[in-house]
A and B are shown apart, each in its own frame.
Chain A
Amino acid sequence: MSSLQTTIEAPVTPVRRSKVDYSQGPQPVSINPTWCKKCNICVALCPQNVLDTDRSGKPVVAHAEECIQCGICWTHCPDAAITSNYR
């Protein structure tokens, strides 16, 4: 069955537009740097490529304006290190 054997590739370009203007308020998500263990699940799973890693390997908010508050980063964080500032 060919329809079942789809390979899922990492998203390249964001498809949805953010409805929130993050330039006025705080960052869309805040990351607790002492609890983060650099597993990078949040960076890999973010559908909008909001997060990126810094030199030490920890995630940082790189493209805040793309965040759609989907909740994938904080529901998949094993260390409860990510919280949203808007939800």
Chain B
Amino acid sequence: MTPAVKSSAAVQQSDVVLRYLRPHKKFPNLWCPGCGNGIVMSSLVRAIDKLGLAKDNVVLVSGIGCSSRMPVYLDFQALHTTHGRALAFATGVKFARPDLKVVVITGDGDCLSIGGNHLIHACRRNIDITTILINNYIYGMTGGQISPTTPSGSVSTTTPYGNMEKQFEACELAKGAGATFIARTTVYHTSQMDRMITEAIQHRGFSFVEVLSNCHTYYGRLNRLGQATALLRMFQEKAARGKAKSIIDEESKDMIVTGVLHRDDEKTELCDEYQKLLDSLSKGKA
């Protein structure tokens, strides 16, 4: 097959995701038709393919939830752990093998509710882990209960008259806890998501990427927002790039600010500090 479209090194092949799927797994995947998890999966594959990382040098760690099924389908080193404890396991993996790239794939309930404490302490330590938080505003796997990121007023199966609680600002939480790379993007903006995940994996330190995703099966249906395409259009309308942040803060709270929200390359990384300590101790002995 001769490529008629001029392909440069920057243009990626359209079948790149197929080369990273586990061959013995049954496809199609178990996610609902139109679920954003699949879009994030192909974006992550494109980012890793762009960086040229070997399959054995990437560890995908996940907890429990819809999004946490992703390492089951991707042919990397995988660790499918207990609910909320993905970051705790990932810290152990990274500390034992600092040469590996550790990517944590987690959902909003997994990361912010039961695993909230692990998140803030991983942020505080500034260990070189890439966390991809797939935020679909609801607990999808267990039947549409409210999660910490459900917007107030939204209907879920446990709040049939609207959510009374306020929602978590995950990126602000990570920033306050000390993460050194924070970005937000949506499943509609796939090229931006590729860029953000690539930068997050390259960044030395704790990097946190919040990907806003669609759960039309529960969140969209209960709030009458429509099917997957309608939710993607909603992300398209509401999203605003990071430069417009000052305008949005004054004018409209309803917009989603996307892009790199915070970056700090000065802070020291935990594995580097540990290596320094080991070196100084071995010098002292000799």
Point out residues on A near B: beta carbons under 8 Å: 1, 4-8, 19-21, 25-26, 29, 34-41, 44-45, 69, 71-72, 74-87
Contact = CB atoms under 8 A, between A and B. Distances in A.
A19 B3 CA distance: 13
Nearest to B237: A8
A38 B32 CA distance: 10
Interface stretch (B82-90, B99-107, B226-234): B226-234
Most chain A beta carbons < 10 A, residue from B21, B42, B255: B42
Contact of B228 (A7, A8, A39, A84): A39
Contacts of B187: 76
B3 A87 contact: yes
Contacts of B29: 78-79
Classify chain B: how many residues form its interface, as a range. 35 or more
Contacts of B275: none
B5 A75 contact: no
Given A1-B252, A40-B229, A80 B21 contact: yes
Nearest to A6: B237
Interface string B15-41: 101100100000111011111111101
Contacts of A80: 17-18, 21, 38, 41-42
A5 B254 CA distance: 10
B42 A77 contact: yes
Given A1-B247, A4-B252, A41-B232, A78 B18 contact: no
Interface stretch (B6-14, B115-123, B260-268): B6-14
Contact of A45 (B5, B13, B31, B229): B229
A87 B7 CA distance: 7
